Each structure stands twice: as structure tokens, then as C-alpha cells.
């Protein structure tokens, strides 16, 4: 494949820098709750190389079921899930007495400051834009796990 007189390597052969900070010696269970399968897969890819066991769900109901089965050490939650909001998930976990760090992922836009304030009021461990870089995700996960 050529572009502007330059030969490009296929993406499978491009060396990517590894910017992995080890969080612990054992695998950390992480639950990603997102209405978007593409976003969830992107988060899973960002967490590759970290000592994590990642589970994915798309609804509040599925998230609550997975939390009941085995308590994850971290939740990465899309602000809007398929059946309710991530905020409702956080409130329900609080009502059940489940204490787990939650990182909310929000869309950029005019409502962002309000979402960040609501997430903070719920005790969120962090807030990321859905457009966050891998480095920002790893930093947010590291900080959340340090506080847990």
C-alpha cells in the first residue's frame, strides 16, 4: 500500500508503544457497562496488558446481575446504558450497600459540567470522556484502584 510515495506497513505489523503501569500482582475484576458494543470493546482493548479480568454488559439489569454474582473491583460505566442511566446504576448499588469504585464515561458537549457534578455527588472515582485516550483511561483506572 502506498500513499504520497511512502510505503506503509499493515497495521498488524506496526509496533505500538506499551504504556502499562502494573496495578497489582493479581488480576483485578473490571466490569464495563456500556450501551455501545464498540465502546466496550475499545475499553477492553485499552485495558489489555493490565492485570485485569474484564466483563462487559449493556444494561443496568445485566450489571446488577454480574455484581451480585461476583463483586468487581472497578466499574467503568457509560453515562447512558440501554435500559437506564449509569447514574441509576450507581444509586442502586449504593442502596444495596455495594461499595465499588465507578468511573463514568460521558459524551463531550454542553451538558458535560452537569454530568461531572452529578458523578462527583455520587462519589465517582473518575469521569472520562468517551473520546479519552488509552493513557487517560489507564491513569483513571490506576487512580481509582489506588483509592479502593
At 122, give phi and psi (nearest 5°). -85, -5
pLDDT of residue 148: 65
Asked if pLDDT for residue 6 goes beyond 70, the answer is no
Asked if pLDDT for residue 8 goes beyond 60, the answer is no
User: CA 82, 88, 89, 95 torsion: positive or negative?
Assistant: negative
Asked if pLDDT for residue 27 goes beyond 90, the answer is no
In contact, 56 and 46? CB cutoff 8 Å: no
According to DSSP, the β-strands at 52-57 and 2-3 are unpaired
What value does the mean pLDDT take over residues 27-49? 92
Predicted structure pTM score: 0.79
In contact, 94 and 121? CB cutoff 8 Å: no
How many whole angstroms separate alpha carbon 63 and alpha carbon 75? 9
In contact, 31 and 70? CB cutoff 8 Å: no
Q: Which strands form 102-106's sheet, in the order they lie side by side?
A: 52-57, 28-33, 74-78, 102-106, 126-129
Paired with 76 in beta bridges are 32, 103
59: its cell numbers = 444494561
% residues pLDDT > 90 (the chain): 51
Asked if pLDDT for residue 123 goes beyond 90, the answer is no
Positions of E strands within 13-99 = 28-33, 52-57, 74-78
Q: Which of 21-35, 77-91, 107-121 has the highest mean pLDDT?
A: 77-91
How many whole angstroms separate alpha carbon 111 and alpha carbon 90? 19
Asked if pLDDT for residue 13 goes beyond 60, the answer is no
Amino acid at each position: 500500500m502506498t500513499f504520497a510515495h511512502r510505503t506503509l506497513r499493515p497495521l498488524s505489523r506496526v509496533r505500538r508503544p506499551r504504556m502499562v503501569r502494573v496495578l497489582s500482582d493479581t488480576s483485578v475484576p473490571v466490569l464495563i457497562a456500556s450501551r455501545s458494543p464498540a465502546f466496550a470493546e475499545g475499553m477492553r482493548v485499552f485495558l489489555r496488558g493490565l492485570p485485569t479480568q474484564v466483563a462487559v454488559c449493556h444494561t443496568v439489569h445485566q450489571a446488577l446481575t454480574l455484581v451480585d454474582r461476583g463483586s468487581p473491583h472497578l466499574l467503568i460505566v457509560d453515562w447512558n446504558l440501554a435500559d437506564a442511566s449509569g447514574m441509576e446504576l450507581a444509586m442502586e448499588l449504593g442502596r444495596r450497600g455495594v461499595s465499588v469504585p465507578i468511573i463514568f464515561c460521558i459524551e463531550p458537549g454542553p451538558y458535560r459540567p452537569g454530568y461531572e457534578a452529578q458523578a462527583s455527588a455520587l462519589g465517582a472515582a473518575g469521569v472520562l470522556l468517551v473520546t479519552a485516550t488509552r493513557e487517560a483511561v489507564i491513569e483513571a483506572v490506576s487512580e481509582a484502584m489506588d483509592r479502593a
